[in-house]
Structure formats: C-alpha cells, structure tokens
A and B are shown apart, each in its own frame.
Chain A
Amino acid sequence: MDFYDKDLVSIRDLDRDQIDCIMDLSEKMIPYARGEKVKKALDGKVLGNLFFEPSTRTKLSFESAAGRLGCNVIDVSEMSMTSMSKGETLADTIKMVDAYCDVIVLRHPHEGAARLAAKFSENPVINAGDGAGSHPTQTLLDLFTMRSAKGSLDGLNVVLVGDLKYGRTVHSLAEALTMFGAKLTFVAPESLQMPSDTFSHIVERGCKPAKTPALEDVIGQADVLYVTRIQKERFPDPAEYQKVAGMYRIDNAILREAKSDMIVMHPLPRVDEISPEVDSTPHAKYFEQAFNGVPVRMALLCAILGGDIDG
C-alpha cells in the first residue's frame, strides 16, 4: 500500500484496505511508541508541526511519534507568534514552512485549511483538525483503539453521544465506520444531531443510523460508547450552550445497563461527560485511546516519509 509522499486531509482519502494497512503498521509500532524498542527510522527528517488552534494530545502525540522515530520537529503553537498575525496568508506561511521541513502537520480554525495547505505545499500535509471539519488521524486512532479492544472492526454496534453537530471527530469516525459495516446510533438533542451533509453521506454508504436523544434506550446494545464533549467554544450563542451542557453524563449507574465488555471512548479533553469513577472500570479506554495516538501517528509518518521500522 503506497502512502509515500501522500497527503492525508480527510478520512475520505483512504479506503478500507489502506485503513487496515495503517492499523497493522500501528500494531507493530506499539513497542517503539512505549520506548521498549528503539528505531530511528526517520533520522534526518524534519516535521513542521503547525498548530493555530489549542491542542494537547494531537500536538504532543505527533511530537512524541516523531521523536520516537528520530524525526526532528519544528513547531508553531500560536497564530500570534507568526507572521499570520501581521496579515500573512496561510498559503504564504505554508510555502515558507514547506521549505524548512519534509512533512507538515496542520491544525487550523478554518474548514478546508488542510486542503489549501496541501495545494501550496510540495511536501505532504497531514490534517490535524480543520475547524469543525476533518480530523483523520483522530479517526485512525479511534479505529485502532476499537480494533485493539474488540479484535475486529467488522459489524460493531457503536453509539456516538454528545455534540455530534460541532464535534469533528464523530463526523470522520462515523463515515469511516460505514466501511466496516458498523451499526451506528447517534445520541444527541436535536440541536446537536449529526449535520445533514454528514448524515446523508453515511446513508449513501449503505448505513442506516438510528437517532435518539435517549442514551438509556440504546446503551444496552452497544459494543462501543463514543462520548464527546459539548464544546462551548463552537457555540455562537452562549445561551444555546447552557441549554445542552451537561445533558449526558456517563457514570457507573448508567454503565450497569451496558454489556460487560462494552468500551467507553472519548477523544478528550473531558469536562464532566464521564465521571472519574468510570476510569477504574474495564469499560474505560479513553486514556489508552490517547496513547494510541502515538503508534498510529508513528505508522502514518513512517508510511508517508518512507521510514522502515523493519529495516
């Protein structure tokens, strides 16, 4: 499967075989991601880590992934620290950074920014989240977490709960799961349900998702409960946020209705969607999910930059 020198802007850029290939490579990366084995497969390469929006996990895990493989990192963490604060366009910034590195990782507040960057960059671009748009590396690590916990991605019953409208991780994830014949249920108040564009796309791919505001009605059948934060920063109107904040809270009481092997995932950060008491149960997979960002991003960097972990 040839990923060499390719951009990764949207999960739609990948087919099932390519996703399986990244999953297999991620599996091999785990001992290297933990530091149990060392291989500088990307020695001498430079990664440009451009984060124009706040991020903890994505930014750090890309840095960790690059570091484990011996790849150097140059980074920007704030727009105010760049010439973009002086009015420079993203296109010009990308052309400049492109000359300094071998791969660009970009997070940006505007949808379509990664596609634009890919157009102006000679080197490959990896989308690390563009506004409310795509976040394909998060999707890959989510799929990897599900596959690791459940053994396979085929035919899983996945319940997505919380902010399905503005939460970009759930859009890409739901689309990707359709490739694996998942049964999807979207749990959210009507005002935060899956956008019609995304919903139609999922239906076009042969999936018939169910929608409900009532988590207690569907949690019993779930293999995976994917919880998202209701994101205050994405609401234009604070009053709208107040109406829906705190609607869903996962605690041990509601988990009594769930299958014993159901897993709870969350892209993090959480605020109060998941009670800390859940952390010590076998259901909790969100910290493992956060760790999986490292092996999955190592796999991607190796595949795109031509690093060979076996050589």
Chain B
Amino acid sequence: MDNLKIVETKIPPIRNGTVIDHIANGQSLNVLKILGVSENNIDSVISIGMHVPSSKTNGWKDVIKVEDRELDHATVGKIALIAPDATISIIRDYYTAEKFRVKLDDRILGLAKCSNPNCITNRGEPVTPEFIVEERNPPKLRCVYCDRILTQISDNLL
C-alpha cells in the first residue's frame, strides 16, 4: 500500500484554514510554538502529522493543518527559522487559494534567545533578543548585541 495514502487518511483535507507542509522532521511542535498557537488561543482543530513520508525528498517530514484560521505571510515567515523548506497553503472551501514558501525576514526579534550565557540579553536587562539573518537555509543568525552566531535555533526558542 502506498504510504502517502495512509497519511491522507490520517490527516484528512480541511475545508478552510492553513496547511503547513514540508516541515523538517520532528519540528512540528516547535513550529506551533513559534506561531504562538496553543490550546488557549485557538478554537478550531489542529492536525499534526509527524514523521510522514515525503515524496519530494524521499525522506520524512512533518505536516500541520490549522482549521478555520488563515495565517498571514509575516506570521508564517517566522517558521522558516526551524523549517526553511516549509510551504504554506491557504485553503478555502477545500481548494488551495494561495500557496507560497516561507521566507525569513532580515531580522528576527523576540523568537529565540542568544546561546551565549554571558550575552547581556541573558542577564535580566529590559531588552528583547534580536538577530540579523546572515544565511537563510539552513538559517544562521547573528546576535545583534554580542555577535555570537546562533545555529542550534530549536534549542533556544523562547
């Protein structure tokens, strides 16, 4: 039996909402964290497919479907931090109304903390961690304050 069919059965199509596909394997919960989606602020169904076969890469991926909520470009751009290959589909009445790839902004504010414990942003000062995006895939961020390169982004999400 084709693996993809099993997946489609387990994560059914949605009528309206957003599909985030081609998330790096194992990163779907971090994606929800970055999007600020939790049980406290959403009234619709969220389906998560973890460790799903990817026909595009012949490897594994994660998929998220958020019903009745259309995520805008700026919001989903943030997930390129940990899922630079992700694609976003906006679904309206079962049809794909829009489809695009995520893209990181030039600067990242407040999504991750600096990995340098001696950085002033980790010392209780009233500042939000900020990074310059030096490379996009894989993402390479430089702390605006201490210049340290942040590579293990998923370990340092706020």
Contact = CB atoms under 8 A, between A and B. Distances in A.
Interface of A: 10, 12, 89-91, 108-113, 115-116, 119, 130-134, 197
B147 A133 contact: yes
A130 B147 CA distance: 12
Contacts, number: 56
B21 to A, nearest CB: 33
A131 to B, nearest CB: 5
Given A89-B124, A91-B125, A91-B127, A115 B118 contact: no
B5 interface: no
11 contacts: A89-B125, A90-B123, A91-B126, A108-B120, A110-B119, A110-B123, A111-B116, A111-B119, A111-B145, A111-B146, A112-B143
A113 to B, nearest CB: 5
B124 A112 contact: no
Contacts of A91: 125-127
Interface in B132-153: 143-149
Nearest to B126: A91
Interface of B: 114, 116, 118-121, 123-127, 143-149
A33 B101 CA distance: 59
A197 B149 CA distance: 7
Nearest to B121: A112
A10 B121 CA distance: 17
A131 B145 CA distance: 12
A129 to B, nearest CB: 13
Contacts of B149: 197
Contacts of A89: 124-126
Given A91-B126, A91-B127, A119-B127, A110 B147 contact: no
Nearest to B122: A110
A131 B118 CA distance: 8
A119 B127 CA distance: 9
B127 A111 contact: no
Given A91-B125, A119-B127, A110 B120 contact: yes
Given A90-B125, A111-B148, 7 more contacts: A89-B124, A91-B125, A108-B120, A111-B146, A112-B119, A112-B120, A131-B146
